[in-house]
């Protein structure tokens, strides 16, 4: 394989959702380079239908203080509804990914309190020093949401390539109204999800989680 194919394979296989970060922030130059690479993501007609708010420092600390309480008080405002339920094979995969995470963390399935505690860490961004909130401007819909997903994956691969880590989080879309207010985001920009990122904590059990993938036979149909 050419060198860059090997490098790509390494990066794409190394990327995992990491759920424990060190407090050290990235430099402004690193942030700039990473987001410039993410912006190379493709989009329909090159419309680049993404607006990204990157939150760090004291602004992020304010959110870390307030979001858990908002969630526990039931103040949920999602721009894109999600009830977390899946059927059939998708449900099996959902269960397997939860199992992979909780077993990496040494949390037994029946220990609801520790599972809840681990889940709540979504709202403190797994201690990450940065969060990217990904917004889709109105009137964009499903097609442009795919573009946003491509941006997100390119961003996460750019982070992995530098030895950094990330976790994409639907949970960070649970308080869209509150985040719009805190970040002074235009009401026509709808929050899809957030990505916590930074230097991974190498000692954290949560970061040992490795998920499986379905075999190609389960989802690719080659025609000739
Ligand atoms: C759009 C999106 C939203 C996600 N939301 C969450 C989330 O709210 N909390 C979380 O811990 N993981 C979340 N994940 C991470 C998935 O659980 C993870 O990608 C999946 O289990 C595969 O594992 P991997 O990313 O380590 O390969 C999300 C992933 C994606 C792509």
User: 65 φ, ψ to 5°?
Assistant: -75, -40
Ligand 1 midpoint to CA 16 (Å): 9
User: What CATH topology corresponds to 3-83+122-204?
Assistant: NADH Oxidase (3.40.109)
| Per-residue model confidence (pLDDT) at position 65 | 98
Average pLDDT, the chain: 98
Mutate to test the pocket of ligand 1, among 98, 149, 167, 175 (most ligand atoms within 8 A of CB): 167
> Residue 15 — pLDDT band, cuts 50, 70, 90?
very high
State the virtual CA torsion across 194, 196, 197, 199 in degrees, nearest 10.
-170
- Rounded CA-CA distance 140/10 in Å is 34
> Residues 122-174: pLDDT tens digits?
999 999 999 999 999 999 999 999 999 999 999 999 999 999 999 999 999 99
Taking CA atoms only, the protein residue closest to ligand 1 atom 8 is 169
| Per-residue model confidence (pLDDT) at position 151 | 99
- Rounded CA-CA distance 164/161 in Å is 7
Number of Cβ within a 10 Å radius of residue 24:
9
Prior bond to 139 cis, omega within 30? yes
Residue ranges lining ligand 1, Cβ < 6 Å: 16-17, 19, 97, 122, 167-171, 193, 211
- Rounded CA-CA distance 49/107 in Å is 39
| Per-residue model confidence (pLDDT) at position 10 | 98
Calculate mean pLDDT across residues 13-33: 98
Provide the percentage of residues in the chain whose pLDDT is more than 70: 100
Q: Is the model's pLDDT at 182 over the cut of 80? A: yes
| Per-residue model confidence (pLDDT) at position 29 | 98
Q: Is the model's pLDDT at 80 over the cut of 90? A: yes
| Per-residue model confidence (pLDDT) at position 64 | 98
| Per-residue model confidence (pLDDT) at position 2 | 81
Ligand 1 midpoint to CA 195 (Å): 10
Q: Where are the domains of the chain?
A: 3-83+122-204
What 3 state SS string does the chain have?
Answer: CCHHHHHHHHHHHHCCECCCECCCCCCHHHHHHHHHHHCCCCCHHHCCCCEEEEEEHHHHHHHHHHHHHHHHCCCCECCCCCCCCCCHHHHHHHHHHHHHHHHHCCCCCCCHHHHHHHHHHHHHHHHCCEEEEEEEECCCCHHHHHHHHHHHHHHHHHHHHCCCEEEEEHHHHCEHHHHHHHHCCCCCEEEEEEEEEECECCCCHHHHCCCCCCCHHHCCCCCC
**Token pair of 80, please?**
């894109």
Q: Is the model's pLDDT at 1 over the cut of 80? A: no
């Amino acid at each position: 394989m050419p060198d860059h194919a090997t490098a790509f394979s390494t990066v794409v296989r190394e990327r995992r959702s990491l759920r424990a970060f060190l407090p050290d922030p990235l430099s402004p130059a690193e942030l700039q380079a990473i987001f410039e690479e993410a912006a190379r993501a493709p989009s329909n007609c090159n419309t680049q239908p993404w607006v990204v708010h990157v939150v760090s420092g004291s602004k992020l600390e304010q959110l870390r203080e307030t979001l858990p309480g908002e969630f526990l008080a039931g103040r949920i405002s999602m721009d894109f509804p999600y009830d977390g339920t899946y059927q059939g094979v998708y449900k099996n995969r959902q269960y397997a990914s939860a199992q992979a995470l909780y077993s990496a963390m040494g949390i037994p399935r029946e220990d609801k309190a520790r599972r809840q505690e681990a889940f709540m860490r979504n709202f403190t961004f797994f201690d990450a020093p940065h969060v990217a909130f990904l917004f889709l401007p109105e009137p964009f819909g499903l097609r442009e949401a795919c573009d946003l997903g491509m941006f997100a994956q390119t961003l996460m691969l750019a982070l992995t390539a530098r030895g950094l880590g990330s976790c994409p989080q639907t949970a960070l879309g649970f308080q869209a109204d509150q985040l719009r207010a805190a970040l002074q985001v235009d009401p026509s920009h709808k929050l899809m999800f957030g990505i916590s990122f930074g230097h991974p904590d190498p000692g954290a059990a949560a970061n040992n989680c490795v998920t499986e993938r379905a075999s190609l036979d389960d989802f690719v149909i080659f025609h000739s």
